[in-house]
Amino acid sequence: MIQVFGIRHHGPGSARRLLKALEALDPDVLLVEAPADAAVLLDSMSLPDLIPPVAMLLYDKSDLSRASYYPFAEFSPEWQAIKYALGKGIPIKFMDLPQGISFVNRGNEKNQTSIPNAKKNPNQPLPQYVTDPLKYLAELAGYSDSERWWEATFEEQFEDTKIFPALLELMTSLREASQDHISSNTLLREAWMRKTMRGVIKEGTERMAVVCGAWHAPALHQLDHYKSADDNRLLKGLKKIKISATWIPWTYSRLATHQGYSAGVTAPAWYQLLFNNPEEAVLRWMSKLSRLFREEDMDGSPAHAIEAVNLAETLAAVSDQQITGIAELRAAAIAIFCNGDEAQLKLVENKMIIGETMGSVPASIPKIPLQIDLEKSIRSVRFGKIWMVASSQEKTLDLRKPTQLKASHLLHRMLILNIAWGALIKIAKGSNAGAFSETWELEWQPEFLLKIIEAGMWGNTVSAAAANKVRHDMKTLSVLSDLTQLIESVLNADLPDVVAELLEKISDISVNIYDVAQLMDALTPLVNALRYGSTRGLNTHDLSQLIDQFIPRITIALPGECINLDEAATAEMFKRINATNRNLFIINDPAMINLWLTTLLTIQQNDQTNPLLQGATTRILFDKEILNIETVGNWLHYTLSTGQSRENAAAALEGFCYGSGLLLIHNPRLWQIIDNWIREIPMDIFMELLPLLRRTFAVFSDPERRKMMELASSGSVAIENKETTDDVLDKRRAEMVLGTVRRLLG
């Protein structure tokens, strides 16, 4: 006897019904819809510390882009059926198309299109019962949501095993209506399943239980309708590759539909509750919600929970639902707990509906050497508690502490290996953390285990793998700025063996580079690495020597690069000059600074220099007291004079004012020159220049702009009077503090 049980993947009602049906059937063998070459993982499913949600990871060692995940939750029918069979000693077979064949077919367009499936008319749109059969049935039943229809019809009926034949009949009708449009891959998989079933029958099995997705059930139940020769012809000549298989932890978040998982469910956390405690699921859900609200300092009393349960059950009854679903629970929670404000529920919604559960895999499951070393390194830096945690966490590392410095090295090495477990958060200015700390946002994704396997090709330890990955990248990179970005990563990851090789390549490449823009772009990551090198205990001597080679070449070539530039090139050069100026004053080498300021003076005094760049260099030289107020005032007066182009004048003003408006606030003469220039511009020309002027003044802080508004309102006389008033010394008031000052000075 063959009994086919059509289920919904990850359906709690399907799982409970299936267990009851298997107990009644007491099968001799269990066939499950899963890739045949994943059967090597069956024995490990009896291990007590393999705790769902977990996933079978099937991959090609020679090409890790070929990988598939098959997740299971505790409420997955297949998981419960396999656990039942293992407990009873019932043989289990995975009957789906081997993943080794599927990998070949996905990359082979010819194989995909060679399976006959005629009568398709590409010019005629497909009916809804083909494109989305469940939505079609849901609308016929009066539901707007196919998920809710399926839950109410099949998943919330826990004990009624008569649903299996009813579901089979329903799917048979749908399959007959859409037979001409079934995908070729589906036909291929079902042929393999039938072939497996025939093989089991030949072994003399009397009671066979077949567990598959409901859509496939008619094709397996009607085994006699399909000729063995036709199926064999369909499967003939299929190529297969050898695959590797292992278990990895999974999360409810990755099991959810919103992550793009086609077989996912909308509410894994609710389904878990529904599977384990169907009679008390509503009350338990509301009790948990009440507790979470209190943790968030919101109202969540027992009275709220009781009232919300009553409302949810009433909503279900009004909708003619036998069992309360997640839609009714959510509506009741918003009404009772949130007073109609949906935003409050969103604070805890993921915990209540999606869930933060993450499975675990026993240590006995085979691991590659790199994963073993990674786990050892994580324990050594005391990150064990946050390893493989699905929720986002912030971790601040004090780089003055050896253990936390090692943790920083580890996270940077993982970034080099493209395993973004941690994302470095930039520290805001004014933070007391300074350069001696890093703040990371850590969030584990199950896919990272595949990336660890992929990174295993580079080495057996995290340090060696990261170093070899950098060496590989070095061979493919030829742009100087890319290489200097790489050296910053290498220094942060503490890979000293690679630093010398990388610096040598940078030096060799830079010798043949005459583009000053590339040299300036490459300077920033080098200076950053030098700046924080002492914090990380790095030897930055070679780095300093490389920077010493760059600066003279930049200063020699820069003046010629600042003339005859178009608007886009000028904007880029403007950014580079400001960045290079900042970098050089971070290094704070007097000889380099003197060379740089001399170069800027040459640029500033050249009449052919682009006005924006001339303004920028004038500002820098004034800030560094190379140009005095008289010189700057004369330059500004000339630049903004009537004989000059107003567009050039606006550009020069933008470059000069970049950075801070305090320059104009505290220098009345400069303010007066700019004020007079703006006053003299005809209104029609002023309207044309307005976007440029707005761009100039928009970068100032709010207090600076308010002060400028006050100055503009008071007029030039007020400014001059204020300057005079501020300079007058009140001798009487000064004499009152002279005694105290003398005592302080001894």
Task: Give the pLDDT mean for 207-230.
Answer: 93
User: Which helix (DSSP H) or strand (DSSP E) does residue 593 occupy?
Assistant: helix 590-605
User: Confidence class of residue 23 from pLDDT cuts 50, 70 and 90?
Assistant: very high
Q: Which of 274-288, 410-424, 510-524 has the lowest mean pLDDT?
A: 510-524
Average pLDDT over every residue of 714-734: 56
Mean pLDDT of 88-100: 95
170-173 LR contacts (CB < 8 Å, sep 24+): 170/137, 171/6, 171/214, 171/215, 171/217, 171/218, 172/218, 172/221, 172/222
Q: What is the pLDDT of residue 112?
A: 43
pLDDT for residue 456 is more than 90: no
Q: Which residue has the higher pLDDT, 547 or 196?
A: 196
In this predicted structure, the answer to whether residue 663 has a pLDDT above a threshold of 80 is no
* Residues 671, 719 contacting (CB under 8 angstroms): yes
Residue environment code for 17-45, b if the CB has 16+ CB neighbours within 10 A, otherwise e: bbbebbeebebbbbbbbbbbbbbebbebb
> Does residue 715 register a pLDDT over 70?
no
pLDDT at 211 > cutoff 90 = yes
* pLDDT value, residue 708: 73
Alpha helices in 114-162 (DSSP H): 128-131, 133-140, 146-150
Percent of the chain with pLDDT over 90: 29
Position 475 pLDDT exceeds 90: no
Please tell me which of 126-135, 188-197, 496-505 the model is most confident about, judged by mean pLDDT. Answer: 188-197
pLDDT confidence tier of residue 527, bands split at 50, 70 and 90: confident
Task: Examine the pLDDT at 544 and tell me if it is beyond 70.
Answer: yes
Mean pLDDT calculated for residue range 239-267: 81
Q: Residue 87 pLDDT > 70, yes or no?
A: yes
Cα distances (Å, whole numbers) of residue 654 to 261, 648, 671:
51, 10, 14
Whose CA is closest to 492, among 458, 456, 528?
Answer: 528
Backbone angles phi, psi at 366, to 5 degrees: -55, 135
Q: What is the per-residue pLDDT for 78?
A: 96
Judged against a pLDDT cut of 70, whether residue 649 lies above it is answered with yes
* Tokens read off for 305: 């929970």
Higher pLDDT, 146 or 563: 563
What pLDDT is attached to residue 30? 97
For position 429, what pLDDT does the model report?
Answer: 38
Looking at the predicted structure, is the pLDDT value of residue 116 above 50? no
Q: Which residues contact 744 (CB under 8 A, 6 or more apart)?
A: none
Check pLDDT > 60 for residue 122: no
213 contacts 33 by C-beta, under 8 angstroms: yes
Task: Work out the average pLDDT over 677-700.
Answer: 73
Q: Is the pLDDT of residue 387 over 70?
A: yes
Does 389 score more than 90 pLDDT?
A: no
> Left, alpha or beta for 521 (phi > 0: left; psi -120 to 50: alpha)?
alpha
What's residue 22's pLDDT? Answer: 95
Q: Percent of the chain, pLDDT > 70?
A: 89
- pLDDT score at 487: 81
Beta bridge partners of 208: 2, 29
C-alpha triplet 549, 551, 556: angle, nearest 5°:
110
* 24-28, 135-139, 666-670: the lowest-pLDDT one: 666-670
Average pLDDT in the chain: 83
pLDDT tens for each residue of 96-110: 999 999 999 876 644
pLDDT at 736 over 70: yes
Please give the DSSP secondary-structure letter assigned to residue 428.
P
Q: Check whether 468 has a pLDDT greater than 50.
A: yes
Mean pLDDT of 683-703: 73
pLDDT value for 716: 47
Q: What are phi and psi of 3, to 5 degrees?
A: -120, 115
How is the chain split into domains, by residue range? 2-120+161-251, 279-354, 369-458, 632-746
In order, the DSSP letters of 227-276 are: -HHHHHHHHTT------EEEEEE-BHHHHBGGGT-TT-BS-HHHHHHHHH
- How far apart (Å, rounded) are the C-alpha atoms in residues 114 and 106? 13
- Residue 722 — pLDDT band, cuts 50, 70, 90? very low
Longest dimension (CA), the chain: 117
User: CA 294 to CA 101: how far, in whole Å?
Assistant: 53
- Please state, in angstroms and rounded to a whole number, the distance separating the CA atoms of residues 564 and 553: 20
What's the CA angle centered on 598, arms 594 and 603, to 5 degrees?
A: 150
Higher pLDDT, 428 or 338: 338
The residue type found at 103 is F
Helices 462-476 and 480-492 cross at an angle (nearest 10°) of 170
Place of tokens 């793998």: 465
Query: What is the pLDDT at residue 413?
Result: 94
Q: Which of 465, 659, 653 has the alpha carbon at shortest distance from 579?
A: 659
Given this model, what pLDDT does residue 651 score?
83
Q: What DSSP line would sit under 365-408, residue for residue?
A: S---HHHHHHHHHHHHTT-GGGTT--S-EEEEEETTSHHHHHHH
The better pLDDT of the pair 725, 568 is held by 568
- Report, as an integer, the average pLDDT of 642-651: 77
Q: Which helix (H) or strand (E) holds 4?
A: strand 2-7
Mean pLDDT on 239-260: 83
* Residues whose CB falls within 8 Å of the CB of residue 91, separated by 6 or more in sequence, listed in order: 28, 29, 30, 85
Q: What pTM did the predictor assign?
A: 0.65
CB atoms within 10 A of CB 228: 12
In contact, 282 and 312? CB cutoff 8 Å: yes
Average pLDDT for 64-71: 84
**Res 680 pLDDT > 90:** no
Supply 623's token pair.
Answer: 């800030």
Is the pLDDT reported for residue 328 higher than 70? Answer: yes
**434 or 3, which is more confident?**
3
What pLDDT score was predicted for residue 721?
A: 41
Q: Hey, what are 72's tokens?
A: 């299971």
Query: Which of left, alpha, beta for 3 (phi over 0: left; psi -120 to 50: alpha)?
Result: beta
Closest CA to 94 of 16, 33, 12: 33
Task: Say if CB 646 and CB 689 are below 8 A apart.
Answer: yes
Structure tokens at 317: 């009854």
Rounded to whole angstroms, the Cα distance separating 78 from 98 reads 17
Return the pLDDT at 110.
Answer: 41
CA 740 to chain centre: 61
